[in-house]
């Protein structure tokens, strides 16, 4: 195989002549064979041995800690006492019932509710399975 090379004048850079130049021939099959051999060597090379003992020890420690925490008594929330206030509209507000907002009733509504205590307790007892508790 030959390739043409252009000979230029050193002073003004103009082309003087085109001369065929010999190019060494390449053996494509040898190049492909070398590339395949290199790829196979990389694939089949033994992988470095990694020491997993520290990781295994850390996993065992975390599992033991998790079991210890799971076996511990659950944290019991401290029940805050009920707080009674007079609202801006002069109604009675009861705080710390477990809701985000207070329960607010006018005086007559609260007295009616208190008068119905026995009926309310009987209703709760009769419908215990149908009524939800907070957290269910």
Q: Where are the domains of the chain?
A: 83-126
Question: Residue 98: what pLDDT?
Answer: 82
- In the block, residue with structure tokens 């399975």: 129
The model's pLDDT over 35-83, given as tens digits with 9 standing for 90+, comes to: 888 878 777 878 777 778 888 999 999 999 998 888 877 777 778 899 9
Q: Is pLDDT of 26 > 80? A: no
Where residue 11 falls among pLDDT bands split at 50, 70, 90? low
Q: List the Cα angle 25/30/35 in 5-degree steps.
A: 125
Where residue 136 falls among pLDDT bands split at 50, 70, 90? low
The model's pLDDT over 93-120, given as tens digits with 9 standing for 90+, comes to: 999 988 889 999 999 999 999 999 999 9
C-alpha–C-alpha distance, residues 99 and 115, integer Å: 23
The SS3 of residue 83 is strand
- In the block, residue with structure tokens 């975390």: 62
Total-model pTM = 0.42
C-alpha–C-alpha distance, residues 85 and 94, integer Å: 7
Contact 66, 79 (CB under 8 A): no
Contact 20, 7 (CB under 8 A): no
């Amino acid at each position: 195989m030959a390739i043409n090379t252009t000979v230029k004048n050193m002073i003004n850079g103009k082309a003087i002549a085109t001369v065929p130049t010999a190019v060494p021939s390449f053996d494509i099959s040898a190049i492909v064979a070398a590339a395949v051999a290199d790829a196979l060597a990389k694939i089949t090379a033994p992988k470095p041995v990694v020491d997993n003992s520290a990781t295994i020890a850390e996993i065992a420690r975390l599992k033991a800690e998790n079991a210890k925490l799971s076996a511990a008594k659950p944290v019991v929330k401290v029940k805050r006492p009920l707080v009674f206030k007079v609202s801006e509209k002069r109604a009675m507000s009861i705080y710390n019932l477990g809701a985000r907002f207070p329960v607010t009733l006018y005086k007559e509504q609260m007295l009616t509710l208190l008068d119905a205590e026995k009926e309310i307790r009987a209703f709760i007892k009769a419908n215990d399975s149908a009524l939800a508790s907070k957290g269910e």
